[in-house]
Amino acid sequence: METELRFGVIGWGYWGPKIARNLDSLPDAAVTLVADMDPNRVASVSLPNPALRLSVDPAEALTSDVDAVVIATPVRTHYQLAKQALLAGKHVLVEKPLTDNLAQAEELTELAERMGLTLMVGHTFEYSPAVNEVRSLVRAGELGRIYCIETERLNLGLFRNDTDVIWDLAPHDISILNYTLAEEPIQARVSAHGNLRSPIPDNAHIDLVYASGTRAHIHVSWMHPTKVRRVTLIGDQRMVVYDDTNPAEMVRIFNSGADVSADPEVSYRFGAITIPHIEWMEPLRLECEDFANAIRLGTPPRASSRTGVAVVRVLEAAQESRREDGAWVAIDRATVKAGVSRETEPR
Ligand SMILES: NC(=O)c1ccc[n+]([C@@H]2O[C@H](COP(=O)([O-])OP(=O)(O)OC[C@H]3O[C@@H](n4cnc5c(N)ncnc54)[C@H](O)[C@@H]3O)[C@@H](O)[C@H]2O)c1
């Protein structure tokens, strides 16, 4: 039998309870402390563990005997809480995005590595069996060369007070793209606007360019009548649609395409649509298992803090592009500060 891992959860809003229930149900693991600065949220905590301690002081989670801390609080609080937790010797799972700026994301990553602690980020979709199916198809070359990818993450709300739609929703799509392509974008530009509470964007379009020539377009919105969570990949051999809202047919592979046979003639291929069987498991459950295993084995989790840094790097470039009226921004992996090129069109 393994030694029991004790987890503290900071933040009992929408997402904290979901992580806590998953961690608490793992073998040889228990959530032993929950902290939220809002007493009403603390009063709403219910978990089966009779020894559970509750607090309105997040510092209590850091001074207690927990082995690891989950930070499920607004993004502006991630850096301070994660840093304090690491300095107190705790392994940490921070919700996405890792931080609200690149320098702090890098600092936390270096601190965790120096202290030999697990620092993981809540990129839940990297644990989705459907995303992993798409990734396998891409990596096996089933789609051929990827021309472009479109992602849509749209719904009415949830409007957040502490952040904008780019920092709230796009981390999911950027992490899916980074994870699926094994390539990080080299340039980004953004068109975003706030319909309801200008200037805070509630609708945004992010264009990304990759060194391989692939292009991606991310559309995120809090101002849309229906829930859309779709990723469409266009390859020169096949096309794939991953629709997270369609459990029966989450991934569809289209054996279709277009070719230039004799310029300017275009010929079309319309082949079968294949729907692979996907063994479904709850992504959050898999994420929590990975966190516990990473702590026990001392190996990096899939959604390591380095993947968190990579996502924040793109978010920061998007933010820079907004400040520069939608100019293309180079995403420089070597430096913290992204360079801006107003005129240059991407390759
Ligand atoms: N991985 C996912 O799919 C996913 C889904 C939803 C939210 N999230 C992330 O989870 C985090 C929390 O989101 P949410 O929807 O639960 O937000 P929320 O506003 O519903 O809850 C946040 C909670 O944190 C508490 N809090 C704020 N500052 C605190 C502090 N300094 N110390 C202790 N408690 C504090 C608040 O009182 C509140 O109860 C965000 O980073 C968000 O991006 C991730």
What class does CATH assign to 5-122+283-301?
A: alpha beta
DSSP-assigned letter for residue 326: T
Matching CATH topology for 5-122+283-301 and 125-282+312-330? no
Across the chain, mean pLDDT equals 93
Average pLDDT over residues 206-231: 97
First to last CA, the chain: 55
pLDDT(64) > 80: yes
The residue whose CB lies within 8 Å of the most ligand 1 atoms, and thus the one to mutate among 12, 73, 128, is 73
Confidence of residue 1 (pLDDT cuts 50, 70, 90): low
Average pLDDT over residues 259-275: 87
Distance CA 197, CA 53 (A): 39
Nearest CA to ligand 1 atom 21: 13
Give the bridge partners for 53, in sequence order.
33
Distance CA 326, CA 207 (A): 10
Pairing of strands 146-156, 215-221: parallel
**pLDDT at residue 339, rounded to an integer:** 34
**pLDDT at residue 265, rounded to an integer:** 85
Taking the centre of ligand 1 as the mean of its atom positions, its distance from the CA of residue 12, in whole angstroms, is: 7
Which pTM does this prediction carry? 0.95
* Structure tokens that stand for 14 in this block: 């929408």
The residue whose CB lies within 8 Å of the most ligand 1 atoms, and thus the one to mutate among 14, 57, 169, 174, is 14
Taking the centre of ligand 1 as the mean of its atom positions, its distance from the CA of residue 72, in whole angstroms, is: 4
**pLDDT at residue 202, rounded to an integer:** 97
* Structure tokens that stand for 42 in this block: 């603390």
Residues contacting ligand 1 via CB (< 6 Å): 10-16, 35-38, 41, 58, 72-75, 77, 95-96, 122, 124
What class does CATH assign to 125-282+312-330?
A: alpha beta
Element (H, E) at 87: helix 78-87
**pLDDT at residue 338, rounded to an integer:** 35
Domain boundaries, the chain: 5-122+283-301, 125-282+312-330
**pLDDT at residue 332, rounded to an integer:** 79
**pLDDT at residue 337, rounded to an integer:** 37
